[in-house]
């Protein structure tokens, strides 16, 4: 039988480093190889921000890796294992049958004015925004010029990211069983020239959202990161062919995650 490779990915908080050390010792007892090289499972230890960083770190190996999140501090959306549960986590890894839940990822392709192309993956969302002055963008759905946006920005989120920034913009929460992208507006201006739908839209896999800046340029954020500021001609957003694989060692549903994060146990 092949030995399982597990990578521990803590943030730099002392508690996360302690948990990583404890997990390393416990995993050694079940003959798991703790390594950063070609991991089968990556365990992020921290908050959701740490989980998002772990996904970016291993974005070139997503077809072979499953992810788990241990939360140091309060319960996170992706990081659903508490520090007090790490013995159970190690037992589940020892008995692992490859249980997996897939979460759709988004691909964003940025075509810069100088001809360069940047391709990024996002687990949560990509946000185009501008804090000073408004932003004007043409929004295409496939080849259809759908609307002319003017305002603070746009958020294009995945189903898993629908509970992040998208939720603060009154977007809907989407079950990650749906391969879909949601676009929500950030403070749109509506007048005779610029007119937008005003409500979030949800597009299916295979459909592309294309953004062409008309006036000014925005910052381009993806998950916890930002691309270097540079003039771009268009950005194309679509569902990535490769989903994120979550190791479903706790058998926890998306809606249980949502309840844990936002509603709590009291009802």
Binding site for ligand NAP (CB under 6 A): 47-49, 52, 76-77, 79, 124-125, 160-161, 163-165, 168, 223-224, 261
The residue (of 35 and 226) whose beta carbon lies closer to ligand NAP is 226
Alpha carbon separation from 215 to 130, 133, 137, 182 (Å, rounded):
11, 10, 7, 23
Category of 173 on φ-ψ map: left (φ > 0), alpha (ψ -120 to 50) or beta: beta
In the residue annotation, 12 being an active-site residue is answered as: no
Radius of gyration over every alpha carbon of the chain, rounded to an integer in angstroms: 20
Nearer Cβ to ligand NAP (33/260): 260
Mapped onto helix, strand or coil, the DSSP state of residue 33 is: strand
Question: What DSSP string runs through 69-88?
Answer: EEESSS--SS--EEGGGHHH
Show binding-site residues for NAD(+): 48-49, 124-125, 150, 152, 160, 163-168, 187
CB of 58 to ligand NAP, least distance (A): 17
Select 79 or 136, whichever has its Cβ closest to ligand NAP. Answer: 79
- Tell me which of 12, 36, 40, 48 is the catalytic residue: 48
Min CB(93)–ligand NAP separation in Å: 22
CB 126 to ligand NAP: min, Å: 9
Rounded Cα distance, 256 and 105, in Å? 20
Active site residues: 48
């Amino acid at each position: 039988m092949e030995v399982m490779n597990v990578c521990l990915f803590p943030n730099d908080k002392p508690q996360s480093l302690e948990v990583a050390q404890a997990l390393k010792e416990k995993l050694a007892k079940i003959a798991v190889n703790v390594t950063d090289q070609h991991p089968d499972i990556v365990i992020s230890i921290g908050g959701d921000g740490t989980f998002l960083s772990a996904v970016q770190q291993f974005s070139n190996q997503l077809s072979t890796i499953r992810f788990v999140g241990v939360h140091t501090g309060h319960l996170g959306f992706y990081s659903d294992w508490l520090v007090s549960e790490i013995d159970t986590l190690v037992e589940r890894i020892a008995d692992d049958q490859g249980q997996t839940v897939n979460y759709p990822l988004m691909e964003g392709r940025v075509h810069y004015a100088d001809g360069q192309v940047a391709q990024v993956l996002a687990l949560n969302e990509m946000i185009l925004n501008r804090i000073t002055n408004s932003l004007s963008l043409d929004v295409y759905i496939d080849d259809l010029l759908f609307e002319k946006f003017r305002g603070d920005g746009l958020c294009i989120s995945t189903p898993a990211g629908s509970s992040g920034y998208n939720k603060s913009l009154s977007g809907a929460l989407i079950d990650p069983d749906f391969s879909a992208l949601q676009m929500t507006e950030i403070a749109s201006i509506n007048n005779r020239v610029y007119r937008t739908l005003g409500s979030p839209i949800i597009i299916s896999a295979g459909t592309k959202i294309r953004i062409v800046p008309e006036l000014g340029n925005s910052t381009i954020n993806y998950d916890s990161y930002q691309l270097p500021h540079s003039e771009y001609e268009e950005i194309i957003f679509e569902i990535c062919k490769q989903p994120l694989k979550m190791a479903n060692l706790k058998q926890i549903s998306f809606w249980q995650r949502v309840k844990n994060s936002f509603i709590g146990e009291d009802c």
